[in-house]
Structure formats: structure tokens, C-alpha cells
Amino acid sequence: MLYREDDIQNMDQRYRANFINSLSGFKSANLLGTKSTSGQENLAIISSVFHVGANPPLLGMIMRPHTVPRDSLKNIKDTGIYTLSAVGSEFTEAAHQTSARYTDSEFTAVGLTPTYSATHSAPYVAEARLRIGLEVKHIEKIELNQTELVIGQVVEVYVDNSVVSVDGYIDLEHLQTACISGLDTYHKSSRIHRYGYAKPHEALAKID
Amino acid sequence: MLYREDDIQNMDQRYRANFINSLSGFKSANLLGTKSTSGQENLAIISSVFHVGANPPLLGMIMRPHTVPRDSLKNIKDTGIYTLSAVGSEFTEAAHQTSARYTDSEFTAVGLTPTYSATHSAPYVAEARLRIGLEVKHIEKIELNQTELVIGQVVEVYVDNSVVSVDGYIDLEHLQTACISGLDTYHKSSRIHRYGYAKPHEALAKID
């Protein structure tokens, strides 16, 4: 079926939110960790993290001003730092529960454990097997819909080096990292193939 | 193991590309379809598509100026339109092969079939079970690394309405949509759970 512009405009707001949030495909599942200037820890599920570049190492994310991560955004602006902890497939329920409107720490409320590195003062999720520390480099408002684009530079990464391949690839599947579809559906992955560098008129190598 | 800023800076370029591209988590797998003003069709695998907002329906993507999709970017700037076709798990090899540096149409080279709707003049992939037509709304250079952020508005969506739930959620897993980790690894998904709206002090509902 072909949905046209009018069909989309005429969708009920909640229906459209589910429909449009499904379109981009599977999304990464991360917990965004921040701390307020008064020391309050904050944790929020976020599915909009994306790769911006490897050198310098940059990650972007989209923050909607009227949803729960608004405390996170304030903390990021105030402190200049944040963390991303990859959601493991065994704690998707706790991760999703962080989207409730808590007034105190989401860590305590959902039963996840804050942890810190010696060199970064925003909280990580101890249960996460991949943890990324970032410093804010750029924040701008997307005028089309008043969301905010946040770009941060990776300043530290915690991961067991046994899952890092000789060429730097991190085996997220071995880490049992979850992914998200739509607004609220969590998935595990199973590998199809890892492919080699593609060249014209040559069959693609499988490097599993 | 904790990788610090120095460790990341000292990584070999290719190693760092694999490592940093793995950090954000699983990514969507889409084929970006464009057509030049002279009528040449172009198709490029892209893993950086992300949700920007549902109303208006907006998707973003990051284009690296020195990689293959530069033809795509020129076509998008020239024509103002493009398409995204979700990569199915049975054609990941053809999809990845589009990243080779072809001088003629990637459709022909990799064996995927261009198809058009009556109302959008950029090509879709006929084999894809979810196809999205977009109009460019915003292009800007990210000064931190000279990549370009492209934001487009969804103007049409082709998908079988049997996979669209009563609340608008599109079952990507039923469509057998693939996802990507790192630069070159493709995965299928298996659902853990779909969760209800989270509220403080209430157990999360499972709405599978």
C-alpha cells in the first residue's frame, strides 16, 4: 500500500508517532547518563544515537525538547559531558522503564547501577558491557521541528578487549547488545555476514 | 579494558574506523536512491539514517564527502528528492556491493531492480518491502568534520499494510529488515519484547 503525504498528515498523532518512528529501521539502544551540577544522577533511554565520524571520533543524537530526556539535555549543557551505555538484551525492561517521569534518580528507580571511571564524572551503567564517555562539541536547534542536535566527542570507551577484533571491529552481537524498532520494541540480533571491502566486478568476500 | 583519548588517537586509521563505527550500536540498513539531472540512477548503502521527528515526518542522515555517496549527495542537491529502501536480510550482499566505486548504475551492477511511484521521480528498490520517498528540507555542513547533515521530509511510504499494527507500529522484523554493526556486518533481528508506556512505580506492560 502506498501512503501519501495526506495519509500521513491525517494520521492520529499517536499512530503517526509509531508509524514514522518505524521508518528509519532498527535503531541503537543506549542509556544516556548525566549528572546535574547539584550531583543528581540522571539516566534516559535514547534510540537516536548515530555515527558522525571516526576522526575525530564523534557521535550525534537528537533530543526532543518536550520528552523526558530534557533533564539530560540541561545536564549536558551545564556540565559539558555525558555517557552512553549500550543496552544489553537482558536489561531492556529496566532500560525502557527509564522513560517514565521520575523525579529522583532513574538508576535507583529501575534497578541499574551507576559506576564511574577515574577520568569522567558522568555516570555509566555498570551492567552495560560497552560504555562510552563523551564531551559535548556542538549543540544546535533543528529549526524544522525545534529538536536539538547534540554532537559529542568520544573521550573514553570501556569494553572487554576480547570482543574487539584485530581490525578494531567490536562484536556487538557477542556483547548481546539490543536494538530498537519504533518507539518501544527491543530486539536481539543474529549475524547474517560480515563483508569485505566492495570492489566493482569482484564478488564480495565474507570475512566471518 | 578502558580505552582513553590517547589510545583512540593512536589507533591506525582503519582500526579506528572499525572501532568508532561500532560504538553507536546497531544501525539501520537502507539503500539511498537518487537520479541525476541527466537521468542516471544511483544507489548507495547508507547506515546513518535516523529519526528526527514525526510531525512533520523527518529523517536525517550523515553524508561523508569523500566516500561513495558523494554522487548521491550531488543528486539530492540538484533534484531535491531521494528515496530510502529498507535492506531485506536476503539481499544484504547486493546492498553492500553498492559501496563499490561504480561509474554506471549500481542497480544494474549489483542486480537490484529500480522501480518508481507515479508521484516521486527518484528510484526505489523493487525488492525492498519498505520504501520511503523524501523531499530535502535542510542540508548543512557539520564544521567539526566536514560531513553533511541532510534532513528530508517523508512524502510517501510504500509498505504492505498487513505489517502495520492498529497503532501504527510497522513490524520490521516481520518484513525481515536487516541492521548493520560497524561498517560492514549485517544482522537479522529477533524480538525480545514490545513494552507499553512507562510510568513511575508501575510494572512495564508487555504488548507483544
For the stretch B127-169, pLDDT in tens is: 999 999 999 999 999 999 999 999 999 999 999 999 999 999 9
Q: How far apart are CA B157 and CA B154, in angstroms?
A: 7
Q: Where does residue A25 fall: left (phi above 0), alpha (psi -120 to 50 degrees), or beta otherwise? A: left
The alpha carbon of residue A86 is apart from the nearest alpha carbon of chain B, in Å, by: 7
pLDDT, tens digit (0-9, with 9 covering 90-100), for A146-177: 999 999 999 999 999 999 999 999 999 999 99
Which pLDDT score is estimated for A202? Answer: 92
Q: How far apart are CA A204 and CA B47, in angstroms?
A: 18
Q: Show the domains of chain A with their CATH numbers.
A: 18-187 (2.30.110.10)
The residue with cell 593512536 is: B10
Cβ neighbours, 10 Å, residue B10: 10
Q: How far apart are CA B111 and CA A48, in angstroms?
A: 32
Q: By three-state DSSP, how is residue B7 classified?
A: helix
Note whether B51 contacts A23, CB cutoff 8 Å. Answer: yes
Helix extents (H) in chain B = 5-9, 13-23, 70-79, 92-97, 106-110
Q: By three-state DSSP, how is residue B72 classified?
A: helix
Answer whether A116 touches B (CB < 8 Å). Answer: no
pLDDT < 70: residue spans in chain B: 66-69
- Average model confidence (pLDDT) across chain B: 96
C-alpha cell at position A50: 548515530
Is the predicted pLDDT of residue A69 greater than 70, yes or no? no
In A, minimum Cα distance to B149 occurs at: A52
The alpha carbon of residue B89 is apart from the nearest alpha carbon of chain A, in Å, by: 7
Which pLDDT score is estimated for B84? Answer: 98
Q: Using CB atoms within 10 Å of the CB of residue A115, give its burial: 0 to 12 exposed, 13 to 18 middle, 19+ buried.
A: middle
Beta bridge partners of A85: A31, A131
Answer whether B13 touches A (CB < 8 Å). Answer: yes
Which pLDDT score is estimated for B64? Answer: 85
Which pLDDT score is estimated for B100? Answer: 93
Q: Specify the amino acid at residue B183.
A: L
Query: Which residues have CB under 8 Å from A52's CB, separation 6+?
Result: A58, A59, A60, A151, B62, B142, B144, B145, B147
Which pLDDT score is estimated for B70? Answer: 72
The residue with cell 565520524 is: A53
Answer whether B129 touches A (CB < 8 Å). Answer: no
Cβ neighbours, 10 Å, residue B177: 25
Tell me which H or E stretch contains A140: strand A130-142
Q: What is the largest CA-CA distance in chain B?
A: 60
Q: How far apart are CA A104 and CA A127, in angstroms?
A: 20
Q: What is the CA radius of gyration of chain B?
A: 18
**Stretch A127-152: mean pLDDT:** 97
**Stretch A134-142: mean pLDDT:** 97
Which pLDDT score is estimated for A66? Answer: 65
The alpha carbon of residue B41 is apart from the nearest alpha carbon of chain A, in Å, by: 17
**Stretch A102-121: mean pLDDT:** 95
Question: Using a CB-CB distance cutoff of 8 angstroms, which residues of chain B are in contact with residue A109?
Answer: 200
Of A100, A138, A172, the CB nearest to B198: A100
Query: Which residues have CB under 8 Å from A183's CB, separation 6+?
Result: A17, A18, A21, A47, B169
pLDDT, tens digit (0-9, with 9 covering 90-100), for A74-88: 999 999 999 999 999
Of B8, B13, B52, the CB nearest to A147: B52
Answer whether A2 touches B (CB < 8 Å). Answer: yes
Which pLDDT score is estimated for A37? Answer: 96
Answer whether A104 touches B (CB < 8 Å). Answer: no
Question: Using a CB-CB distance cutoff of 8 angstroms, which residues of chain B are in contact with residue A44?
Answer: none
Confidence of residue A192 (pLDDT cuts 50, 70, 90): very high
**CA distances, B71 to each of A2, B37, B89 (Å):** 28, 12, 26
Question: Using a CB-CB distance cutoff of 8 angstroms, which residues of chain B are in contact with residue A48?
Answer: 50-51
Is the predicted pLDDT of residue A68 greater than 90, yes or no? no
Note the Cα A86 to chain centre separation in Å.
7
**Stretch A176-186: mean pLDDT:** 98
Query: Which residues have CB under 8 Å from A167's CB, separation 6+?
Result: B14, B15, B18
Which pLDDT score is estimated for B24? Answer: 97
Which pLDDT score is estimated for A103? Answer: 86
Of A26, A47, A132, the CB nearest to B177: A26
Note whether B52 contacts A200, CB cutoff 8 Å. Answer: no
